[in-house]
Amino acid sequence: MGQPDKKSPTAVDSPISSPSLPISHRDIESSLLELVKRSPKTVSWCLALTVGIILYGYDLVIVGNVSSMPEFQYVPINPMASKSSNALSRRDFGQTLNGKLIIPSLWLGLWNTANPFGGILGALAGGYIQDRNGRRRALTVASLASAIGVAVAYVSNLPGDITGRRGVFFVAKLVQGFAVNMAMCTAQTYMSEVLPPGLRGPILAFFPIFTLLGQLLGSIVVYVSLDKPGVEGYKSCFISEWAVSVLPLLLSVLMPESPAYLIRKGLFDAARKQQRRLASSEKEAHATLEQTRLSIELENQNTKGIPPSYIDCFKGINRRRTTIVIWANIFPQLFGLTLLAKASYFMQVVGMGAHDSLVFLQVGIGLGITANIGSILTLAKVGRVPLTLFGFAVSNFLWTGMGIAGCFSGTVTVWYTQITLMLVIIVCGLSTWPASYAFGAEASSLQLRAKTQGLGWLVNCLTHGVLGLVLPYIFNDDEGALGAKTGFIYTGFCIIGLIVTWAIVPEMKNRTTMEVDKMFQLGISARRFKGWRERGDEGISVSSFVGTR
C-alpha cells in the first residue's frame, strides 16, 4: 500500500448547511429498532467490542471475590503429613480471627485499591496511546497487559513468606487494573465516535450489561472452583482469565479504526475506507464522514491546529465539559458499585455462609443484567438526567433501610441486607449506571474525547480505589465492624449525587456532536439544554429555546 492521501477528497470538501438538524430530528422520530436497522454494521462492531467490557467485569469478580474462597483465605499445613505430601506446599493469604476466616483489613484494602490505582495509569496511558497510535493499538496493549497480569496472579502463591504472597498478588491486581481500565476507556471512546446520536445512549448501555455478564461468568467460575482442594481452586480462576484476555487482542486486529481518529491525523482516504466498513451504504458513509470532518475542522479552528493535551481539557468551555464527564464517572461509586462488586465477602461479614453468598452474588448479577438490558429501552425513551435522579432517589431509600436493619442482628438482618443489594443493582441498572456512560460519551468534544475519557476513567479508578481501601475498615470485623450499617454511608452519597447532578449535568439525549458543541459555546445552563433548538435559513442560524423562557 502506498502513502494515504492526506488531501480531503472532493466528496467531502464542500461543507453542508446545518448538517446536524436533519440527522437529529430523524433520530428523534425513529424507533430504536429502525435506528439499529439503519446502522447494522456499526452496532455489530460495537457489540464485538464488548469483549473488552466482559474482561473488565470478569476481572472485577475474579480478583474481588477469590478472597471469599476459604482455600484462598486460609489453608493450614497438616503437620502430620509426610514431607513429600502436597499438603505441605499449600499456601494461604488470610488468617483466623476468633475462629473466623478473614483477610486482614490492611491487605483487603490494598488489594481493593490495586485494580483502580492501576486503572489510573491505564486510563492516562489509554488516552495517550489512542491519540498517538489509534484505538485499535490501545486495545492491543490492554489485552497484552491483561495476559501479563494473569500470569503474575497465577504465581502469587509461590513465595514462601505470607507477606511476599500477598505482595505478589497486589502487583498482579495492579497490572490487571491497568489493562482492564485501558480497555474500557478505549471502548467508550470508540463507541462514542462511531455511533449516531440516537443509538449512542442505548448502545452505551452495553457497558453495565456486559460488565455484569463478565461478573456473572466470573462468579460462576469462582463458585465451581470453591470446593477444589488446595491452591488448584483459586489458581484455576486465574487461568480462566487468559481465555478472556485473548479476545480483545483478536478484535484489535480485525476491527475498523475510528474514522474520527484518522481524519484528525489527516488520513482521509483511510478514514473513508474504514467508514465504509462501519456504514450500511455509501450515502450513509459519506454523510457521517462529512459531519465528523466538519466537526473536527471547526474544533481545529478554535485551537489553531495545535495538538491537544490533557491541560486543554481544563481550558475555556472544555473545563465545564470535562467536569461533567468526571462527575458522571463517579456515579457508580455513589450508588454503591464498589460494595456490590464485593457482595459475597461483604455478606459473609454480615453473617451469610460462603456458598450462599456466592449463589446470591450470581442471582444479583443476573438481575442486574436483566435490568441493564431494560436500560436499552429506558435510555432510548427517557432523558438521561431524569433516569439518573430516579436511580439516586430510590437507592437513597434502599440504603437507608439497610442501615436501619443493620442496627439489629439475626437472620432477618442478613436477608434484608441481601435483598437490598439486589434491589439497588436492579434500580441503578435501569437508570443511573447506564446513564453515566451516555453522559461521559456525549459531553466531551471530539478533539479531546480520548483524553477526556481517560481523565474520567482516572477519577473513576481513583474514587473506586479510595472506597476500596476505606470500606474494609468500615464493615470488616477486625476494624469498624459496621456490617449492614454501611448502608448509611451510601445514603449520604446518593443525596450528594442527586443534588450535584441536578445542578450541573445537562440533558444531551439525541443531540449531535455539533449541537452539543454549539450549546456549550453559548454557555447554556444545564436546565435549559433540553429546550434548545437551532434553526437555520440559507446558512443563517438562529438559536432559540422551545418551551423555555
Instruction: Quote the DSSP letter at residue 265.
Output: T
Is residue 90 very low, low, confident or very high in pLDDT (cuts 50, 70, 90)? very low
Contact 400, 487 (CB under 8 A): yes
Question: Is it the case that residue 29 has pLDDT exceeding 70?
Answer: no
> What is the mean pLDDT of the segment spanning 192-218?
83
> What is the mean pLDDT of the segment spanning 106-130?
83
The predicted pLDDT at position 64 comes to 66
Is residue 458 very low, low, confident or very high in pLDDT (cuts 50, 70, 90)? confident
Is residue 466 very low, low, confident or very high in pLDDT (cuts 50, 70, 90)? confident
Question: Is it the case that residue 79 has pLDDT exceeding 50?
Answer: no
- Pick the range with the lowest mean pLDDT from 29-38, 262-271, 361-370: 29-38
Is residue 470 very low, low, confident or very high in pLDDT (cuts 50, 70, 90)? confident
Question: Is it the case that residue 330 has pLDDT exceeding 90?
Answer: yes
The predicted pLDDT at position 294 comes to 81
- How far is 289 from 293, CA to CA, in rounded Å? 6
Greatest mean pLDDT range, 10-19, 337-346, 537-546: 337-346
> What is the mean pLDDT of the segment spanning 336-362?
83
The crossing angle, in degrees rounded to 10, of helices 40-48 and 162-194 is 170
The predicted pLDDT at position 501 comes to 96
Domains, the chain, in order of start with CATH, read: 30-77+90-255+309-446+448-525 (1.20.1250.20)
Question: Is it the case that residue 24 has pLDDT exceeding 80?
Answer: no
The predicted pLDDT at position 69 comes to 73
> What is the mean pLDDT of the segment spanning 214-223?
83
Is residue 392 very low, low, confident or very high in pLDDT (cuts 50, 70, 90)? very high
Distances from the Cα of 514 to the Cαs of 25, 506, 517, in angstroms?
14, 15, 5
The predicted pLDDT at position 515 comes to 84
Question: Is it the case that residue 546 has pLDDT exceeding 50?
Answer: no
Question: Is it the case that residue 2 has pLDDT exceeding 80?
Answer: no
pTM for the predicted model, two decimal places: 0.71
Question: Is it the case that residue 265 has pLDDT exceeding 70?
Answer: yes
Distances from the Cα of 14 to the Cαs of 30, 50, 290, 291, 294, in angstroms?
28, 36, 9, 11, 9
Question: Is it the case that residue 314 has pLDDT exceeding 80?
Answer: yes
Question: Is it the case that residue 482 has pLDDT exceeding 50?
Answer: yes
The predicted pLDDT at position 283 comes to 83
Return the bridge partners of 534, or none: 543
Question: Is it the case that residue 296 has pLDDT exceeding 60?
Answer: yes
The predicted pLDDT at position 96 comes to 67
Coil, helix or strand at residue 78: coil
Contact 476, 102 (CB under 8 A): yes
Q: Which residue would you say has higher pLDDT here, 259 or 196? A: 259
For the chain, what is the mean pLDDT? 80
The predicted pLDDT at position 401 comes to 95
The predicted pLDDT at position 503 comes to 93
Alpha carbon of residue 204 to chain centroid:
10
Question: Is it the case that residue 15 has pLDDT exceeding 80?
Answer: no
Alpha carbon of residue 214 to chain centroid:
12
Return the bridge partners of 102, or none: 95
Residue with cell 435510555: 379
- Pick the range with the lowest mean pLDDT from 12-16, 395-399, 431-435, 520-524: 12-16
Return the bridge partners of 536, or none: 541
- How far is 65 from 220, CA to CA, in rounded Å? 11
Question: Is it the case that residue 339 has pLDDT exceeding 70?
Answer: yes
- How far is 529 from 413, CA to CA, in rounded Å? 44
Sign (positive or negative) of CA dihedral 488, 489, 494, 500: positive
Sign (positive or negative) of CA dihedral 204, 208, 214, 220: negative
- How far is 430 from 374, CA to CA, in rounded Å? 6
Greatest mean pLDDT range, 61-75, 211-225, 344-358, 418-432: 418-432
- How far is 351 from 341, CA to CA, in rounded Å? 18
The predicted pLDDT at position 309 comes to 79
> What is the mean pLDDT of the segment spanning 321-333?
93
> What is the mean pLDDT of the segment spanning 354-366?
82
> What is the mean pLDDT of the segment spanning 253-269?
89
> What is the mean pLDDT of the segment spanning 159-176?
87
